[in-house]
Amino acid sequence: MFSTILFYVLSVILVFSSLMVVFTKKPVNSVLFLIVSFFAISGHYILLNAQFLAVVNIIVYAGAIMVLFLFTIMLLNLNKETEPKKPVLIKIIAVITGCLLAITLIGSLKGIDNAPVQNFSDNSIGLIKNLGKSLFTDFVVPFELTSVLFLASIVGTLMIGKKE
Amino acid sequence: MENIVSQLQSISINSYIWLSSILFTIGVMGVLIRRNAIVVFMSIEMMLNSVNLLLAAFSVYHNDPSGQVYVFFIMVVAAAEVAVGLALLVMIYRNTQTIDINFLNKLKW
């Protein structure tokens, strides 16, 4: 019962802050609401007993990526409300398209059984011990390939970002 | 604490599907509505996060850690993607003095 209430509270915070990301005028406010939504998602991970993902989500998303966004906005001085408006017809069409997408997504997965998420006696798969075992036995090749990906990303960022 | 969480856990998988679908839809609407490239970028991050949440929920549902490892890899790729994407935005702003995506239509048709 307690976790159900917590789930709905976190969901309301998550959906509200996500809507505010889209509908606020200033980009800095969008970034701050996005940080709130990332914390709500971390709460959901804790509710799913996935502590490692919750911590990594806060460190990577709310820590690193949002700082990058904030620095870009502040360095480029983009916090202006002079964004030109799209026509109202385009906005209405966009909202209708999004609602159709949601109906399609929910309807296609409607036939799934309504079982509770956790009904196992051993529900420690989200702990760092089990994830580390899985990461370094089954997924060791992708794990090493991510280092190559990061190296490529560093080189690409430096090449794009430097002045000619 | 873990026992309390496991005993009280009674949220169905359908709730997570609903939540993730709504979040993904908000992200799609953000891409379609806004013209500021940074906000479009943040909407893409929101879509990635909704998929992450659903992957973690199904991973717990099937008692299989592979889904959570996959979420970890998605976060890694998202971090690299954000670095490259923001560098591209800085370069675009340096060349055109704007990040309005309607000015970036050379590759549109």
Question: DSSP secondary structure string, B15-78?
Answer: HHHHHHHHHHHHHHHHHHH--BHHHHHHHHHHHHHHHHHHHHHHHHHTT-THHHHHHHHHHHHH
pLDDT bin (cut points 50, 70, 90) of residue B46 is very high
* B19 contact residues in A (CB cutoff 8 A): 11, 14-15
Which residue in the set B8, B68, B86 is minimally distant from A1, CB to CB?
A: B8
Using a CB–CB cutoff of 8 Å, tell me whether A132 touches chain B: no
A73 and A6 share a domain? yes
Which residue in the set B33, B43, B79 is minimally distant from A60, CB to CB?
A: B79
Burial tier of B22 (Cβ tally within 10 Å: 0-12, 13-18, 19+): buried
Q: Does residue A105 belong to any structural domain of this protein?
A: no
Q: Does residue A93 belong to any structural domain of this protein?
A: no
The CA-CA-CA angle for residues B50, B54, B60, to 5°, reads 145
Q: Does residue A31 belong to any structural domain of this protein?
A: yes
Picking from A38, A59, A85, the residue at the C-terminal end of a domain is A85
pLDDT of residue A25: 84
Sign of CA dihedral A66, A35, B23, A49: positive
Number of domains in chain A: 2
* DSSP single-letter state for residue A117: S
Give CA–CA dist A138/B29, Å, rounded: 37
8 Å CB contact between B11 and A117: yes
* A142 contact residues in B (CB cutoff 8 A): 73
pLDDT tens-place string over residues B52-108: 999 998 888 888 888 889 999 999 999 999 999 999 888 888 888 877 877 777 777
Q: Does residue A136 belong to any structural domain of this protein?
A: yes
Which residue in the set A76, A95, A153 is minimally distant from B93, CB to CB?
A: A76
Find the domain containing A152 and state its range. Answer: 124-164
Q: Model pTM? A: 0.87
Give CA–CA dist B17/A123, Å, rounded: 21
Using a CB–CB cutoff of 8 Å, tell me whether A62 touches chain B: no
Using a CB–CB cutoff of 8 Å, tell me whether A79 touches chain B: no
pLDDT bin (cut points 50, 70, 90) of residue B7 is very low
8 Å CB contact between B99 and B89: yes
Decide if A57 and B75 are in contact by the 8 Å CB cutoff. Answer: yes
Give pLDDT tens digits along chain A (164 positions).
Answer: 777 888 899 999 999 999 999 988 888 899 999 999 999 999 999 888 888 899 999 998 888 899 988 988 888 876 666 666 667 888 888 889 888 988 888 888 777 766 666 655 566 777 888 888 888 998 999 999 999 999 999 999 999 888 76
Give CA–CA dist A92/B57, Å, rounded: 32
